[in-house]
């Protein structure tokens, strides 16, 4: 995607709520360990061979803590670059400690302050991230030691064990939030289906059945009554079929998203170039249906705003944990304020047909639009019981 184009990140993943809460707790911890580190460095000021450099390192810790608390507060800013820089600052201050304090140092300048970066990796990248950050911090600490004492070994052991454990807990909480959200959506959808079925059965279906029956009885008066009865019968059949389809979605089974997209794009008015993996992309039936409907809505927008003959490209990618569908065209793009204005005016086509569908699936949508064209990137997490 082009970095110069206006972009809207539509964060809808339920596990982000867990991550947000954990990063808020980490912000408090960062301040606590910073106060501890500053107090210890002031208390041990006579240990500094280069006091000015020591003051500079303490100022860097204070400034970076303030920046990190601000940066991690917003999901959009939690990029890989931020986490790598966070870990780099922590490891760098450890490596600078013997130059500032002398080779016979007993304690590094940052001390426990480095746990902030390690825990950020654990929260964001779970067990693997926690282990990787812990290994980097531990390696930096061991590299400046002349001797491996019992105290140094204990610190390294706690880092290497604590990072993955915190990461595992963060991942478990995120998965639990996803499962709770999915169960809640399924329960709400089931209740709504039952309510609509009762309303339709008690009202619309009975009226259509009555019209069909009376139209047949009044055929001798006018052929138009017979035609009205026939149309009512067709609509009753179609509506009953739709209700049965909705009921089946309560027990979706599995569906091949690649095949569903191929069938949908083959019949769409827009000429579509579809690229899918060479193997089936299995998803729960309702997830595949909703994601296919969201892609169809994207293509409908191409037909409406770019032209029925405008080419479009659909790319399906299965990363194992996430299924990503990209829909791209070469139209004039969407003005930066069009979506906001449309939503204020009550025209919720994009919000409901694309964004709301992804929200209900626990996924998110990324829109990149400009003079180069428009690209939707739709992502849904793969349920842990499916795929790899």
d(CA 302, CA 313): 11
CA 164 to chain centre: 22
d(CA 290, CA 1): 24
| pLDDT tens digits for range 345-366 | 444 455 556 887 888 888 888 8
386 occurs within a structural domain: no
Q: What is the mean pLDDT of the chain?
A: 80
User: Is 238 or 388 the better-scoring residue by pLDDT?
Assistant: 238
Asked if 208 contacts 235 with a C-beta cutoff of 8 angstroms, the reply is yes
The verdict on 37 and 95 lying in the same domain is yes
Residue 11 has pLDDT above 70, yes or no: no
The number of folded domains in the chain is 3
3 occurs within a structural domain: no
Query: What sign results for the dihedral spanned by CA atoms 218, 223, 224, 229?
Result: positive
130 occurs within a structural domain: yes
Task: Single out the residue in 130, 161, 179 at which a domain terminates.
Answer: 179
How many other C-beta atoms can be found within 10 angstroms of the C-beta atom of residue 3?
6
Residue 387 has pLDDT above 50, yes or no: no
The verdict on 237 and 259 lying in the same domain is no
d(CA 134, CA 91): 10
> Which residue range(s) make up the domain with 198?
186-248
What is the average pLDDT across 31-41? 94
Count Cβ atoms within 10 A of the Cβ of residue 299 and give its class: 0-12 exposed, 13-18 middle, 19 or more buried. buried
End-to-end distance of the chain based on CA atoms, in angstroms? 27
d(CA 64, CA 106): 24
- Provide the pLDDT for residue 147: 78
- Running DSSP on this structure, what letter comes out for residue 318? E
How many other C-beta atoms can be found within 10 angstroms of the C-beta atom of residue 322?
14
What is the average pLDDT across 176-201? 69
**Global model pTM greater than 0.75:** no
The verdict on 261 and 354 lying in the same domain is yes
């Amino acid at each position: 995607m082009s970095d110069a184009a206006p972009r809207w990140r539509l964060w809808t993943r339920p596990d982000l709520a867990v991550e947000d809460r954990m990063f808020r707790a980490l912000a408090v911890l960062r301040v606590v360990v910073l106060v501890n580190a500053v107090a210890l460095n002031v208390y041990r000021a006579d240990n500094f061979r280069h006091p000015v450099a020591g003051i500079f390192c303490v100022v860097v810790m204070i400034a970076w803590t303030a920046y990190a608390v601000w940066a991690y507060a917003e999901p959009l800013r939690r990029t890989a670059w931020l986490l790598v820089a966070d870990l780099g600052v922590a490891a760098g201050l450890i490596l600078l400690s013997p130059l500032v304090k002398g080779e016979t140092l007993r304690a590094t300048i940052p001390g426990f302050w480095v746990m902030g970066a390690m825990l950020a990796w654990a929260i964001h990248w779970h067990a693997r991230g926690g282990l990787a950050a812990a290994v980097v911090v531990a390696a930096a600490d061991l590299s400046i030691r002349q001797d491996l004492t019992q105290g140094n070994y204990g610190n390294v052991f706690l880092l290497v064990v604590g990072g993955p454990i915190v990461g595992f807990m963060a991942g478990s909480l995120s998965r639990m939030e996803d499962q709770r959200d999915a169960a809640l959506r399924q329960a709400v959808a089931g209740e709504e289906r039952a309510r609509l079925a009762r309303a339709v059965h008690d009202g619309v279906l009975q009226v259509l059945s009555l019209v069909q029956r009376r139209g047949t009885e009044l055929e001798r008066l006018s052929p138009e009554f017979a035609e009205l009865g026939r149309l009512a019968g067709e609509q009753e059949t179609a509506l009953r079929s739709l209700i049965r389809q909705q009921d089946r979605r309560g027990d979706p089974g599995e569906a091949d998203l690649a095949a569903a997209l191929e069938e949908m794009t083959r019949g769409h008015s827009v000429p579509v170039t579809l690229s899918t993996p060479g193997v089936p992309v299995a998803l729960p039936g309702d997830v595949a249906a909703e994601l296919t409907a969201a892609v169809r809505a994207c293509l409908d927008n191409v037909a409406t705003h770019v032209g029925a003959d405008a080419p479009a490209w659909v790319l399906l990618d299965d990363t194992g944990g996430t299924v990503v569908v990209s829909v791209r065209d070469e139209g004039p793009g969407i003005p930066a304020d069009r979506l906001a204005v449309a939503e204020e005016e009550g025209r919720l086509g994009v919000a409901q047909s694309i964004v709301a569908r992804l929200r209900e699936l626990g996924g998110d949508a990324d829109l990149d639009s400009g003079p180069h064209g428009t690209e939707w990137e739709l992502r849904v997490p793969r349920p842990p019981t499916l795929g790899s």
